[in-house]
Amino acid sequence: MKKLMVAGGRPLRGTVQISGAKNSAVALIPTAIMAETAVTLDNLPAISDVAVYSNLLSELGAVVERTDDTMMIDPSSLQSKPMPNGDVKKLRASYYLMGALLGRFGEATVGLPGGCNFEPRPIEQHIKGFEALGAVVTNEHGSLKIKAKELRGAKIYLDLVSVGATINIMLAASRAKGVTIIENAAKEPEIIDVATLLNSMGAKIKGAGTETIRIEGVDALHGCRHSIIPDRIQAGTYMIMAAATRGDVVIDNVIPKHMEAVTAKLQEMGAHIYEMDEAIRVVGQQEYASVDVKALVYPGFATDLQSPMTTLLTQAKGVSILTDYVYGNRFKHVPELVRMGAKIKVEGRSAVIEGSRLSAAKVKATDLRAGAALVIAGLTVQEGVTEISGVEYIERGYDNIVRNLVSLGAEVWRE
């Protein structure tokens, strides 16, 4: 089993380049299969979720060519075949194959998704959307079989704000007859990124990034070239790392607007932040004030940064309360941080975090962002080496994390 070793006590200094966004990439790759000609994606992150998705597309018969951070997807000979098991279970975003295959072929059979399972993550809103568009959905031995004689536009009011459901409905509705309106849609930047690609492919989508999205179905979609937006969660993680190690880091290739909730919280704690056009500099301080954080849907503080933020809050004076309104049980990092000396209690959907000194320990990442939280903890420890297992989770979403941290002066290696 691979392990990540972190010898802490060194302030991070220098510049880190942020790759394209995982949550965009894993939606844009399946979106590409709706075209009749090749789609090229630039600024692709080097993460395992992307590698797994590339295998899924090859399995379906697409030609996929990858060079550096570019992926060419030629889906002209792709077919809709059942994908009940195997790689679909390795990542959450395999659910986008449902909307993409349904849109292009009128049918899809896809196993229920895997990914980070920090709590049950139902997808009934996706199903409600497919059904509203005229599909019949059945669950057969853990796979969803989705079939439509004809997809028809519909008005769909989501019961809750869901990134996955919003994108999945956008995908299928792009090829439906007539107009679909999604109300109470998610507003995450990744949704705008998917709508931008779809529109470049010939779709007619308006309102992505607002709570009402209007999709006018079209008869066919074609290939194009698209550059993926920067990963705001990786960027936020490096911002938190810079603050936690009392370092001075320029986080480059970011959209500062996407980072506002993190920037505001770090400033409230006392960190100094300088925004540039496409970069953010974080200058850490020796002392931090405790703050309360509420993880919410965008533009609120991202739930995906909740675990990294938990670690930073152990470095503040006094008691901070961090509440996750998106995933109320996303606290698997807490017992591991407690092993490292953190004083944290979970109460309902909140973590109550008291400032404390962390020490090196053997800990286990059980999901992607829990892994990031442990890396940050390891970096803040003054003496000793923190040994983190479960590295495969971290590799799902952090592009070249070891190389990046080493270039910022950290002592981090794989074993």
Ligand X SMILES: CC(=O)N[C@H]1[C@@H](OP(=O)(O)OP(=O)(O)OC[C@H]2O[C@@H](n3ccc(=O)[nH]c3=O)[C@H](O)[C@@H]2O)O[C@H](CO)[C@@H](O)[C@@H]1O
Ligand Y SMILES: C=C(OP(=O)(O)O)C(=O)O
Find all residues with CB under 8 Å of 137, minimum gap 6, and list them: 127, 130, 131, 144, 145, 146
Q: How far is the CB of 360 from ligand X (least distance, A)?
A: 29
8 A C-beta contact, residue 254 and residue 280: yes
Distance CA 328, CA 200 (A): 37
Residue 178 or 300 having the CB closest to ligand X: 300
236 binds ligand X (CB under 6 A): no
Distance CA 203, CA 75 (A): 17
Please, what sign has the CA dihedral across residues 401, 407, 412, 415? positive
Q: How far is the CB of 183 from ligand X (least distance, A)?
A: 15
Of ligand Y, ligand X, none, which one sits near residue 124, judging by CB under 5 to 8 A according to partner kind?
Answer: ligand X
Residue 123 or 228 having the CB closest to ligand X: 123
- Which stretches does DSSP call E strand in 102-170? 107-111, 136-140, 143-147, 155-157
Length of the chain (residues): 415
Catalytic residue status for 224: no
Known binder of ligand: residue 326? yes
Exactly one of 43, 54, 125, 366 binds ligand X (CB under 6 A); that residue is 125
Looking at beta carbons, which residue is closest to ligand Y? 115
Query: CA gyration radius for the chain?
Result: 21
Extract the tokens encoding 299: 């533009």
Q: How far is the CB of 367 from ligand Y (least distance, A)?
A: 7
- Which region holds residue 348: left if phi is over 0, alpha if psi is between -120 and 50, else beta? left
90 binds ligand X (CB under 6 A): no
Q: Which of 12, 116, 132, 194 is catalytic?
A: 116
Of ligand Y, ligand X, none, which one sits near residue 413, judging by CB under 5 to 8 A according to partner kind?
Answer: none
93 binds ligand X (CB under 6 A): yes
Distance CA 381, CA 106 (A): 54
396 binds ligand X (CB under 6 A): no
Q: Within 13 Å, how many C-alpha atoms sit on residue 251's CB side?
A: 31
Exactly one of 160, 264, 289, 406 binds ligand X (CB under 6 A); that residue is 160
Residue 190 or 336 having the CB closest to ligand X: 190
For 92, 140, 171, 337, 347, the CA distances from 64, given in Å and listed in that order, are 21, 30, 20, 40, 47
Known binder of ligand: residue 10? no
Exactly one of 165, 172, 195, 309 binds ligand X (CB under 6 A); that residue is 165
Exactly one of 143, 162, 234, 350 binds ligand X (CB under 6 A); that residue is 162
Q: Which residues are identified as catalytic? A: 116
Question: Which spans of this chain sit near ligand X (rule: CB under 6 A)?
Answer: 23, 26, 92-93, 121-126, 160, 162-165, 186, 303-304, 326-327
Query: Can you say which residues are annotated as belonging to the binding site for UDP-N-acetyl-alpha-D-glucosamine?
Result: 92, 121-125, 304, 326
